[in-house]
A = this chain, B = another copy of it.
């Protein structure tokens, strides 16, 4: 149905890092929001939407990954961390509020690349949310030989773990060692001696760099989702580029637009 800016209703919102969950004291506030929108109809895992804050001192839309798409019922789920003004505002939204979003944006993960392959999905921190829909889609398509999930958390606040476990085993790494393997997602691979033909990942830059090296060394294909500051979200402003190894077909220079040519790139194609 193409990209659109639409008004959508908040269906529900809750704090995942609320009282009672561990690790709240570190100050990370993570929220989980469902939106009602027919943009869900053809949302792909790894795509994102942009949310426009109402606060008029902040004009640019905020890119947030699609965590789950209920395509039949026209609903999108996002899980996000309060990072600044915009996300702080979002965290105050309540069921029934009207908000404006632009979507669905970006390319998403290439499900076809999983066909007949051993796939490892890796999410680090606030890069975990898009892994949920990816996992669901890989499971439902059922063409991968095997799908494993590694989720790297900062601490015992294991958001979305239960959701993902509905679709398969989830290996956990925590920086503070409070659950699973102490360390990061790469430490899980080593500790559990996991093997993959294809890696699909989202997370902080050091993690993505490590995956890129790993994929080079182990001959695995790694699809990584990148982040950059955006203005338009639709490929017009050239704000959100990443360096590419070869000349990009659209830009004719070694820069690709994360919002339209990405956010998912084959690790070997980009210079991160």
Chain B contacts of A55 at CB under 8 A? 56
Chain B contacts of A56 at CB under 8 A? 55-57
> Binary interface profile of A, 3-29, with partner B (CB < 8 Å = 1, else 0)?
000000000000000000000000000
The residue on B at minimum CB distance from A55 is B56
A80 to B145, CA, bound (A): 70
Chain A 205-223 interface residues, beta-carbon cutoff 8 Å to B: none
A57 to B57, CA, bound (A): 6
Chain A 23-65 interface residues, beta-carbon cutoff 8 Å to B: 55-57
The residue on B at minimum CB distance from A57 is B56
The binding surface of chain A is classed by DSSP as loop
Q: A98 CB to closest chain B CB, in angstroms?
A: 14
Chain A 55-90 interface residues, beta-carbon cutoff 8 Å to B: 55-57
Chain B contacts of A57 at CB under 8 A? 56-57
A55 to B57, CA, bound (A): 8
A56 to B55, CA, bound (A): 6
Q: A92 CB to closest chain B CB, in angstroms?
A: 13
A57 to B55, CA, bound (A): 8
A52 to B56, CA, bound (A): 15
Q: A88 CB to closest chain B CB, in angstroms?
A: 14
Q: A52 CB to closest chain B CB, in angstroms?
A: 14
The residue on B at minimum CB distance from A59 is B57
The residue on B at minimum CB distance from A56 is B57
The residue on B at minimum CB distance from A58 is B56
A55 to B55, CA, bound (A): 7
A56 to B85, CA, bound (A): 13
A107 to B55, CA, bound (A): 35
Q: A263 CB to closest chain B CB, in angstroms?
A: 30
Q: A87 CB to closest chain B CB, in angstroms?
A: 17
- For this complex, 4 residue pairs linking A to B, each with C-beta atoms less than 8 Å apart, are A55-B56, A56-B56, A56-B57, A57-B57
What 4 A-B pairs are tightest by C-beta distance, nearest first? A56-B57, A56-B56, A55-B56, A57-B57
